[in-house]
A and B are shown apart, each in its own frame.
Chain A
């Protein structure tokens, strides 16, 4: 029961309270880049969730079962980025072979994800938060992906509606997106007292 409680609070915390986009500023580039249409945003969110769960789990396993016993923490960053790049490649090849329609819809986003700072950021935050067990690492990385998806979908919805709004010329494009994100971050601060 204790485990379930820890996992549940961890999940809610990483989705809402410590949302990667709104409190840790991770994955802002795709956040501004592909949040124009809601279907694209959802596709990106799913691809990120998928890769994030995979690489979060993999890096946790390598970190705890390989690097720490051998005292190789120095090589952590190099290893993490290699694992993420390899994971993205693997996912790409696997989808291409076995799920062509899914690959078609992910297509353009997958290579972009390697340099999405949300993925590496989450792997590093797993170290900072001192994630102790494998199941925790899996749940937290999945939650991180879901949090990103929620953030990018809300933003895409707002931006679709904003096309009908008369935005001051100087603020069009990125500035108004950032200001909107700021207001959303303000709203997400309301979750802070939940746990």
Chain B
């Protein structure tokens, strides 16, 4: 009994490590780049986006894991997409009702979670062949990895672009804000340089 329990905890640890670092979607696998670039002009929308993705990811992983035995190869992707689209609709309606301002800022990028490759990748790689609990933990870990990455990029862009963090002044007023950081240019450059920095760290350690 103890051995199986240990085995299970080991599996969960593995799943969490995979989501948070080893196969972190944004920095290691380069998946989900579209929202990564689009909503990271400030931390608040990035965090909202991350939470939406966690919700959709956990729910879709749960559903896919529940119906994994009934899945047939040729309708698999279609079923995944429909499941995801349903939960995204729920998330979108929830945001519109309770966070109307955020919903306006994020705009069509909330429905675009449907085609976020991270979610369909997890459905395919984990949920369609694992138990319910493992799939849920996987959804949480992957979603958390995604959210953390989004928040890192968004903090860099918000601090340099406006001198604020979470809309609170953090840099002295004398600091000239780099307006470009809030524009598409800043998104591409920040993402590129952060990726380069991570590669640099990996190379140093190897």
Contacts and interface: CB of A to CB of B under 8 A. Distances in A.
A80 B180 CA distance: 34
B8 interface: no
Contacts, number: 123
A75 B85 CA distance: 9
B33 A24 contact: no
Contact of B114 (A27, A77, A125, A170): A77
A181 B81 contact: no
A25 B192 contact: no
A121 B110 CA distance: 10
Nearest to A184: B188
Contacts of A75: 89
B120 A77 contact: no
Contacts of B105: none
Given A22-B184, A78-B89, A189-B185, A124 B111 contact: yes
A131 interface: no
A175 B196 contact: yes
Interface of B: 30-31, 33-35, 37-38, 77-78, 81-82, 85-86, 88-89, 92-93, 107-108, 111-112, 114-117, 120, 180, 183-189, 191-193, 195-197, 199-200, 203
15 contacts: A22-B184, A28-B33, A28-B37, A29-B31, A74-B93, A77-B85, A114-B77, A170-B196, A170-B199, A171-B199, A175-B193, A176-B192, A177-B192, A182-B185, A182-B186
